[in-house]
Amino acid sequence: MRRTLLILGLSASIAGSAQELCGTIAARCEQHITKQYIPDGQFYRALLQGDEQAEFNLTLFGGTTYRVAACSGESDGILVFNVVDKDGNVLFSNKDQGNAPYWDLAVTNTIDVKVEAGLDPTKAGSGCAVMLIGFKK
Amino acid sequence: MSVSSSSKIALGLGLGLFLAACGGSDTQSEKPAVDTLAVDTTAKETELLNVGGRIFSIPSPVQAALAMRKAGLKYRKELAAPLEKADPAVGKTAQSTLLGIYGADLAYATVHKDGQRAMATMQAIEKVGSKLELTNAFDRALLDRFKSNLGSEDSLLQFSGVAFRAADRYLKENQRNDVSALVLAGGWIESLYLTISDPAAANDQSIVNRIGEQKNSLDALVELVQTTDTANGAANIVAGLKELQALFAKVSSTYTFQEPVTDAGKKTTFINSTSTVTIPADQLKAIVTKVTDIRNLMLA
């Protein structure tokens, strides 16, 4: 019984630490959605290991400039993300831009896209991935 | 050394807690992991995961309000949900959807520079937020900041966006994904309701297109609400959204890929692909009716 309580206590402590860690990453990521951008009001995160990828679907409305921020680990440039259209065409990859932690997407016509995010294997083996989106008025 | 059954259960619970604390455990690896900068280039089969389990991005109500303003639709503050609904709202489902509805109403009033209504709506949001234990996001300090910036539309949109994101983060970190999903559902339905309630909307092609462009968002929303509503507390709403989904199924669209252009200096990629949507007129009428029904259900 004592061992059970000990393990539960330790596990809860680890869970708290992980949450704190994601929170720290989120706080850093929020800095990339500067005051020129209105946050979309949502928070996206995933736990990644190895070459796992997180993905989420979104509609980008025409006539809008979006900012996508993607963060993990203790510094910028650890998360690699691709923006892919419904036909599988890669519209943008931050890998081509030195793993930029944020990028703007100026959208002419409304388009449904998928954002795929994974860790740069040369920089991290696992971690909490946070993505945030803002847009210009 | 062996581990007893109760210890194994405790360990399992602990690992579950750990995984949930950093993104949810629904679809993710069963292996515990810590954030680390250690290099691990071991080749593994790529596994796709949805962010936060079954989380999708739902369009911000602010974008809908901006589209309405751009199209020149008249501001009709009587369309917004009654603020007195905040007090009697009881139960997680009613409170969550009401919070989302008020969030959309807040954007509507702010974008149309109705500071007084925006402030009153923010007070109602604080009230409902408090019932949902979201005082970390909607507190007195936010109200004060809001009040002292009533003349600045940009600041108000910023404050509300940051506050709703903080609330969403808190809910997801505390495994209250059902509440998070219902807040999004309330906001999405209210935005659509405000958009379609103006008879002029049906004659404005940009607005009709915007309605049709919500098809994928609705699919995401249905999946999101349905997956997170494990207690079936929102069964009526799920049913309504599915009926709406059936109506949206008749919306057709086209997409043509165009090569994007990247300006690295400006850290911007210009996405030039083209798309069209078509909604049959009778279908649009049916959508208007169904959206109103769902909104009434949420406000009942």
Question: Residue A25 pLDDT more than 60?
Answer: yes
Q: Which residues of A touch B17 (CB under 8 A)?
A: 11-12, 14-15
Q: What residues of chain B lie within 8 A of the CB of A111, using their CB?
A: 255, 271, 273, 275
- Chain mean pLDDT for chain B: 85
pLDDT band, residue B45 (cuts 50/70/90): very low
Give the mutation candidate from B165, B175, B206, B262 for the A interface (greatest A CB count, under 10 A): B165
**ipTM score for this prediction:** 0.90
Q: What is the pLDDT at residue A16?
A: 56
Comparing C-alpha atoms, which of A40, A131, A30, A66 is closest to residue B62? A40
| B93 touching chain A per CB within 8 A | no
Q: A15 or B235, which is more confident?
A: B235
Is the separation of the CB atoms in B220 and A57 below 8 Å?
Answer: yes
Whose CA is closest to B111, among B147, B78, B158, B144? B158
pLDDT confidence of residue B293? 98
Tokens of B52: 């936060």
Least CB–CB distance from A92: residue in B220, B262, B273: B262
pLDDT in tens, B72-127: 999 999 999 999 999 999 999 999 999 999 999 999 999 999 999 999 999 999 99
Tell me the CB-side half-sphere exposure of residue B220, using CA atoms within 13 A. 24
Half-sphere exposure of residue B223: CA atoms within 13 angstroms, side-chain side: 15
Q: What is the rounded distance in angstroms from the CA atom of residue B239 to the CA atom of residue B218? A: 13
Q: Say if residue B36's pLDDT is above 50.
A: no
CA distances from B56 to A42, B70, B126, B221 (A): 9, 26, 25, 8
User: Cβ of A60 and B169 within 8 Å?
Assistant: no
pTM value is: 0.85
Q: How far is B163 from chain A (nearest CA, A)?
A: 7
Q: Residue A15: what are its φ and ψ, rounded to 5°? A: -60, -45
Counted across chains A and B, CB pairs separated by less than 8 A come out at 279
d(CA A56, CA A45): 10
Which of A52-61, B33-42, B43-52, B209-218 is most confident? B209-218
pLDDT at B30 over 90: no
- For chain B, percent of residues with pLDDT exceeding 90: 77
Tens digits of residue pLDDT in A54-101? 888 899 999 999 999 999 999 999 999 999 999 999 999 999 999 999
> Are A46 and B52 in contact (CB < 8 Å)?
yes
Residue that has been written with the tokens 């007129």 in this structure: B281
Contacts of B282 (CB under 8 A, 6+ apart): none
Q: Which has more confidence, B11 or B105? A: B105
Q: How far is CA B271 from CA A34, A104, A105, B260, in A?
A: 21, 10, 7, 5
Residue A3 pLDDT: 54
Any idea what DSSP says for residue A77? T
Name which of B35, B48, B271 is nearest A106 (Cβ-Cβ): B271
Tell me the mean pLDDT in the region B248-272. Answer: 97
The chain B residue lying nearest A137, using CA atoms, is B66
Q: Give residue A23's pLDDT.
A: 84
Residue B28 has pLDDT above 60, yes or no: no
In terms of CATH architecture, what is A2-135? Sandwich (2.60)
pLDDT > 60? residue B166: yes
Q: Checking DSSP bridges between strand A111-119 and strand A79-85, what pairing results, if any? A: antiparallel
Q: How far apart are CA B124 and CA B157, in angstroms?
A: 17
- A106 forms beta bridges with A65, B270
Mutate to test the interface with A, among B273, B274, B277 (most CBs of A within 10 A): B273
Distance from CA of A125 to the nearest CA of B (A): 4
Quote the tokens at residue B7.
Answer: 């210890």
- Report the pLDDT averaged over residues B220-235: 94
Mean pLDDT over A4-33 rounds to 70
Domain boundaries, chain A: 2-135
3-state secondary structure chain B: CCCCHHHHHHHHHHHHHHHHHCCCCCCCCCCCCCCECCCCCCCCCCCEEECCCCCCCCCCHHHHHHHHHHCCCCCCHHHCCCHHHCCCCCCHHHHHHHHHHHHHHHHHHHHCCCHHHHHHHHHHHHHHHHHCCCCCCCCHHHHHHHHCCCCCHHHHHHHHHHHHHHHHHHHHHCCCHHHHHHHHHHHHHHHHHHHHCCHHHHHCHHHHHHHHCCHHHHHHHHHHHHHHCCCCCCHHHHHHHHHHHHHHCCCEEEEECCCCEEEHHHCEEEECCEEEEECCHHHHHHHHHHHHHHHHHHHC
pLDDT at residue B50 tops 90:
no
Residue of B134 and B15 predicted with greater confidence: B134
**Helical axes B235-248 vs B215-228, angle rounded to 10°:** 160
Would you call B210 and A61 a contact, using CB atoms and an 8 Å cutoff? yes
The neighbour count for residue B144, using CB atoms within 10 Å, is: 10
Q: Which of A10, A23, A124 lies nearest to residue B36, judging by beta carbons?
A: A124
pLDDT of residue A56: 83
CA-wise closest residue to B292 among B79, B42, B56, B74:
B79
pLDDT recorded at residue A15? 52
B262 shares contact with chain A (CB less than 8 Å): yes
Distance of CA B118 to the CA centre of its chain: 19
Q: Which of B111, B39, B51, B158 is nearest to A44 (CA)?
A: B51
At B288 the pLDDT is: 95
Question: Is residue B17 very low, low, confident or very high in pLDDT (cuts 50, 70, 90)?
Answer: very low
